[in-house]
């Protein structure tokens, strides 16, 4: 039965349950892992809930005084750091940048990418884990994430599995690190953070969902990022040269 649009600003709970049933069917036969004792674990198993449902539930229960990075990662459950990587890419996709978010989001994504590269659980600094997200910023991130993840989940399922494990798994970690470095770099270029943010999102989402085509979409976004920055640099240098000429 196709999902019906609802006149609400958020996807309805019935829509999320329908997506959850699809994920239950797709993940059937996978080994189930118990709760991880630490937020420093790098898990790849799927939970019963979809990623969008996790964010939607968290959106309803988020405390009024905001949340620390530690509490947010803990609330994401089994998917832990990979899903945190996706969530912290979201601020760069908002129409207006959130103040004070560029350093935490870039650092967290970079450390997670290093964890994927070396197949180890990254140790996030205590100071970073205690960074508190204000309620308004947290609400914007969770709202956009729930709606965006819901749309992606309609099209995503395990496929092209060689793109999500083996040596490609390490390559995905390298790309997450490079995307995080671009987010951290103070490039005076409009929209320079949007393309790598989508690259990070698709790469992490595809790795988590075992969706190789989604990982490839992340690669495309990284290529577009390099091409865009290169073109801006070339045309900018040409313009500067013409002025001095």
- The answer to whether the beta carbons of residues 199 and 89 sit under 8 Å apart is no
Q: What is the mean pLDDT of residues 182-201?
A: 85
Q: What is the pLDDT of residue 203?
A: 92
Query: Is 167 buried (19+), middle (13-18) or exposed (0-12) by CB count in 10 A?
Result: exposed
Tell me if residue 11 falls in helix, strand or coil: coil
**Who has greater pLDDT, 189 or 42?**
189
Q: What is the mean pLDDT of residues 118-134?
A: 83
CA angle 198, 46, 22 (to 5 degrees): 85
Alpha helices (runs of H) in the chain, residue ranges in sequence order: 13-26, 51-61, 69-75, 80-89, 102-118, 126-129, 135-155, 167-184, 194-209, 212-244
pTM: 0.74
What DSSP state is assigned to residue 33?
Answer: P
Within 10 angstroms of residue 237's Cβ, the number of other Cβ atoms is: 10
Residue 141 tokens read as 């991130």
Q: What is the mean pLDDT of residues 62-86?
A: 82
Q: What is the mean pLDDT of residues 109-138?
A: 85
What DSSP state is assigned to residue 120?
Answer: S
Q: At 19, is the pLDDT very low, low, confident or very high (cuts 50, 70, 90)?
A: very low
The domain segmentation of the chain, as residue ranges, is 13-244
Q: What is the mean pLDDT of residues 103-118?
A: 85
Q: Which of 23-27, 156-160, 201-205 has the lowest mean pLDDT?
A: 23-27
% of the chain at pLDDT higher than 90: 22
pLDDT in tens, 194-219: 899 999 999 999 988 889 999 999 99
Q: What is the pLDDT of residue 205?
A: 92
Q: What is the pLDDT of residue 222?
A: 94
Q: What is the pLDDT of residue 211?
A: 92
**Who has greater pLDDT, 244 or 221?**
221
């Amino acid at each position: 039965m196709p999902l019906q649009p609802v006149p609400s600003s958020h996807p309805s709970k019935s829509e999320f349950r329908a997506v959850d049933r699809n994920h239950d069917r797709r993940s059937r036969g996978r080994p189930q892992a118990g709760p991880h004792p630490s937020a420093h674990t790098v898990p790849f198993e799927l939970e019963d809930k979809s990623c969008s449902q996790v964010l939607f539930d968290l959106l309803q229960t988020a405390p009024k005084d905001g949340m620390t990075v530690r509490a947010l990662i803990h609330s994401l459950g089994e998917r832990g750091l990979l899903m945190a990587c996706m969530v912290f890419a979201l601020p760069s996709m908002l129409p207006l940048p959130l103040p004070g978010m560029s350093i935490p989001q870039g650092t967290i994504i970079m450390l997670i990418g290093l964890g994927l590269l070396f197949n180890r659980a990254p140790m996030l600094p205590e100071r970073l884990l205690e960074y508190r997200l204000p309620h308004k910023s947290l609400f914007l991130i969770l709202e956009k994430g729930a709606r965006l993840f819901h749309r992606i989940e309609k099209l995503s399922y395990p496929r092209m599995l060689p793109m999500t494990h083996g040596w490609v798994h390490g390559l995905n970690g390298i790309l997450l690190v490079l995307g995080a470095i671009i987010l951290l770099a103070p490039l005076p270029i409009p929209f320079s953070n949007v393309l790598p943010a989508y690259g990070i999102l698709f790469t992490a989402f595809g790795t988590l969902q075992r969706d190789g085509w989604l990982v490839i979409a992340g690669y495309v976004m990284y290529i577009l990022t390099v091409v865009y920055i290169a073109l801006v640099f070339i045309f900018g240098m040409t313009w500067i040269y013409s002025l001095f000429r």
